Amino acid sequence: MAKEPMRVLVTGAAGQIGYALVPMIARGVMLGADQPVILHMLDIPPAAEALNGVKMELVDAAFPLLKGVVATTDVVEACTGVNVAVMVGGFPRKEGMERKDVMSKNVSIYKAQASALEAHAAPNCKVLVVANPANTNALILKEFAPSIPEKNVTCLTRLDHNRALGQISERLSVQVCDVKNVIIWGNHSSTQYPDVNHATVKTSSGEKPVRELVADDAWLNGEFITTVQQRGAAIIKARKFSSALSAASSACDHIRDWVLGPLRDICSMGVYSDGHMVCCWTDLLVPVHAAWGWKSSVSRSTSLKKR
């Protein structure tokens, strides 16, 4: 029997990340190859024409899983009935700007969108905040959407996680899918800390620790960390725009593993804990409608505790 369509909201859908993200969702990258979707796309009135252009392209692409498209500048229409909300829209970070510089710009945006989700989203709607500063925006959203369970409000740190996987893959000349269990600690910012102390690589002779295979603690404790921390700024410098394709792909990874569940791999995400949004790692154990929880048996190294 065919599944009922899931309604997925993407805010800022006419922007760079949104434009990369919506075809991934329509193709089944986010929710699976057998899950029909109805896309709800929201953007600001000045972007209405561009948003309509994105809708036309989605229709022209003839995605079999795409059962409908709502393209609107009305936040209530956009949020009505959505099962998943991916909050991409926000004041953009530009070259030379720190996340704190855009924080105040995003308060009014997220207050309005949170109120609309609170009143009109489907029960048990899952929310992923992508727009930076992601932790703060997620806190604002939760504050103004009190009926959405804390466990259903998350922010993106999977991009940092994937960047760490990519750096290790390149260093060891292995397939990135064979690198597992990196951990991202701290905020989604230049102060985050990528941790490889539990990371492994699949080899012909079994799983091997990353530290053993790299055999270069100076690189792992130095250049590797700073490269991951500064990757976003490096991409802005190179492209003059924030990361788009990689951010969209990471958002799909985040939601897919949250909803469908990975095969016991460690995943990094920002979650609500004791009144704060903290970037942590979670072990998603249930393969369908995954429920995540903290895994307290993992300890931080002495050097990490000092940071």
Domains and CATH numbers, the chain: 6-155 (3.40.50.720), 158-305 (3.90.110.10)
- Considering the entire predicted model, what is its pTM? 0.88
Q: Is 16 annotated as a binding-site member?
A: yes
pLDDT of amino acid 265 = 80
At residue 281, the pLDDT reads 47
Per the annotation, does 17 bind a ligand? yes
71 among the known binding-site residues? no
Residue 208's DSSP bridge partners are: 201
Does residue 244 have a known ligand-binding role? Answer: no
Query: Does residue 163 have a known ligand-binding role?
Result: yes
Ordered per-residue pLDDT tens for the chain, 307 residues: 789 999 999 999 999 999 999 999 999 999 999 999 999 999 999 999 999 999 999 999 999 999 999 999 999 999 999 999 999 998 766 667 666 667 777 888 999 999 999 999 999 999 999 998 888 889 999 999 999 999 999 999 999 999 999 999 999 999 999 999 999 887 777 778 899 999 999 999 999 999 999 999 999 999 999 999 999 999 999 999 889 999 999 999 999 999 998 666 888 888 877 655 555 545 443 222 234 444 444 555 545 555 5
| Set 188, 198, 254, 276: catalytic member | 188
- Count how many residues are written for the chain: 307
Query: What is the pLDDT at residue 99?
Result: 61
CA-only gyration radius of the chain, Å: 19
Report how far residue 232's alpha carbon sits from residue 234's, in angstroms, rounded to the nearest whole number.
5
Note if 188 is an active site residue.
yes
The Cα–Cα gap between 171 and 196 comes to 13
What is the per-residue pLDDT for 175? 98
Q: What is the three-state SS of the chain?
A: CCCCCEEEEEECCCCHHHHHHHHHHHHCCCCCCCCCEEEEEECCHHHHHHHHHHHHHHHHHCCCCEEEEEEECCHHHHHCCCCEEEECCCCCCCCCCCHHHHHHHHHHHHHHHHHHHHHHCCCCCEEEECCCCHHHHHHHHHHCCCCCCHHHEEECCHHHHHHHHHHHHHHHCCCHHHEECCEEECCCCCCCEEECCCCEEEECCEEEEHHHHHCCHHHHCCHHHHHHHCHHHHHHHHHCCCCCHHHHHHHHHHHHHHHCCCCCCEEEEEEEECCEEEEEEEECCCCCCCCCCCCCCCCCCHHHHCC
For position 211, what pLDDT does the model report?
98
